Amino acid sequence: MIQKTMGPVNMELRQLQYALQIAAERNFSRAAEKLHIAQPSLSQQLSKLEKELGVLLFQRNTSTVELTHAGASFMEQAQKIMDAVELLRQEMSDISQLRGGKVVVGSMPITGAHLLPHVLPSFKRKYPEIEITLLEDSSMNLEKLTAGGKTDLSLLALPLLEPSLAYEVIGEEDIDLAVPEGHPLAERTNHGKPLPVRIEELSEESFIVLKKGQGFRKITFDLCQQAGFEPKVVFESSNMETIQSLVATGMGITLVPRFISRSSRSEFVPVYLPLAEPVPSRTLVIAYRRGRYLSKAAEAFIETFRETMRELVK
């Protein structure tokens, strides 16, 4: 990091503003009035400024006030500075008023592909000036990224492994079963509707699951364990969409979050069956660093996400 030795800045914006006002009015008393200060204060501040600069800015006696050449070039540059200051104030004001800003959001590929497309348009509509940057990764990596401050928020599912993360629940997502067409479980219907499947019934099935580091893999294993068996894994993929295709082609079965089973559009689509009560679900949350102040923009994103989820679940 380059150390810029900045000399002591004794000059202050107030003094620039005072000088500019005097230049505009060409009269100390009137300038002081507009600045809501007394005339002697203005004289004092200007003298101080001139003394510090080592330059006379105004040629003045008791009757006339006019710029020196030095004063003229001072005013030119001072005005640029004040304009830049005004711009800075405006930018900060925009951010605090949600008319600007930036949020870096992490999400798993699954949710990125299936949930965010619903959220982002309405967020953009509501806060057109807030920039959203998306970062897709596995849930494990996302937790690390968020814990390390690389993202402001991450869309994740419980449980979180990183203890430094806090979260807000944004919704429950039911879990379905995916089987190949013609699978015996898909044939059990009641008035044409498939019957719910109990997880225990899957103990002898071949499972296709996500690779390690992806949260939903653990959810699958936990559900099977709760049902009293260890799933027989015949294939692993890091891509949930790929798994759907593999199931469709008859290589095995899998558990899948509802938002995926709802919107699968690829060529090879498996059959989705509901699971029996109590329907297993995963809790979707937006996670962020514990103890951290969330920017208003980030809060607005969370709020919009929640609203959108409520709409989706209807």
Partner DNA sequence: CCTTCTAATAGTTATTTCCTATTACGTTTA
Partner DNA sequence: TAAACGTAATAGGAAATAACTATTAGAAGG
Q: Which of 39, 141, 238, 283 binds DNA (CB under 7 A)?
A: 39
Shortest reach from residue 290's CB to a second copy, in Å: 10
Neighbour tally for 30: CB within 10 Å: 15
Decide: is 43 part of the binding site for DNA (CB under 7 A): yes
Q: How many residues bind DNA (CB under 7 A)?
A: 26
Q: How far is the C-alpha of 184 from the C-alpha of 204, rounded, in Å? A: 13
Decide: is 41 part of the binding site for DNA (CB under 7 A): yes
Decide: is 24 part of the binding site for DNA (CB under 7 A): no
Full 3-state SS string of 223-285: HHHHCCCCCEEEEEECCHHHHHHHHHCCCCEEEEEHHHHHHCCCCCCCEEEEECCCCCEEEEE
Q: Which region among 45-53, 104-112, 272-280, 306-314 touches DNA (by CB under 7 A)?
A: 45-53
Residue type, 131: E
**Is the distance from CB of 56 to CB of 70 less than 8 angstroms?**
yes
DSSP letter at 150? S
Task: Provide the Cα torsion 135, 136, 137, 143; round to 10°.
Answer: 50
Q: Which of 21, 28, 146, 272 binds DNA (CB under 7 A)?
A: 28
One symbol per residue from 79 to 108: x for binding DNA (CB under 7 A), - otherwise; what is it? ------------------------------
Decide: is 166 part of the binding site for DNA (CB under 7 A): no
Q: Which of 22, 65, 101, 246 binds a second copy (CB under 8 A)?
A: 101
Beta strands in 145-203 (DSSP E): 153-157, 165-179, 189-190, 193-194
Decide: is 5 part of the binding site for DNA (CB under 7 A): no
Decide: is 48 part of the binding site for DNA (CB under 7 A): yes
Decide: is 3 part of the binding site for DNA (CB under 7 A): no
Dihedral pair phi/psi, residue 184, rounded to 5°: -50, -40
Decide: is 203 part of the binding site for DNA (CB under 7 A): no
Which residue number, 40 or 159, has a Cβ lying nearer to DNA?
A: 40
Q: Is 140 exposed, middle or buried (0-12, 13-18, 19+ CB in 10 A)?
A: middle
Site for DNA in 111-150 (CB under 7 A): none
Applying CB under 7 A, the residues found at the interface with DNA are 1, 12, 14, 27-29, 32, 36-41, 43-48, 60-65, 291
